[in-house]
Amino acid sequence: MKNNSFLIIFLFALYFVVSSCNKQEQSELIVSDSSDLIRIDSLVATKRNIVCWEEIFITAYTTGDSLTYLWSTNHGSMYGKQSATVKYWACYSCTGNNVVQCKIENKYGVVTDTIMINVTL
């Protein structure tokens, strides 16, 4: 009787160990695609060819929660650099192709994208 009790307890303990290992393996197999958690789908400008001092709006269409925005450019000026949409304009010294970059981040990572704006006199 003593050996049967030990065998039953051993098999019962083995069952819990094996079943808990299987649950860990299953949860490790479920991996989310990070692009579902943070992504810039597109950058859209009201116009891509503008004249000096003309104001346009550039909007970042994004996917993700709790996003932080940071816009930058190699030439020109912007208003609203920490929002999904910025107002952009350029002066006489900024003629040519100007690169506007949008950087977004959240707890899952950081992504960037750029759009080209052509400025003429």
Query: Are 53 and 103 within one domain?
Result: yes
Counting the structural domains of the chain, the total is: 2
Closest listed residue to residue 86, CA positions, set 69, 99, 74: 69
Range of the domain at 67: 34-120
Query: Are 82 and 111 within one domain?
Result: yes
Query: Are 88 and 55 within one domain?
Result: yes
Query: Are 87 and 72 within one domain?
Result: yes
CB 72 within 8 A of CB 47: no
Write phi, then psi, for 52 (nearest 5 degrees): -50, 140
The better pLDDT of the pair 48, 16 is held by 48
Confidence of residue 32 (pLDDT cuts 50, 70, 90): very low
Output the pLDDT for position 12.
59
Query: Are 27 and 39 within one domain?
Result: no
pLDDT in tens, 52-84: 999 999 999 999 899 999 999 999 999 989 999
Query: Are 93 and 71 within one domain?
Result: yes
Query: Are 24 and 74 within one domain?
Result: no
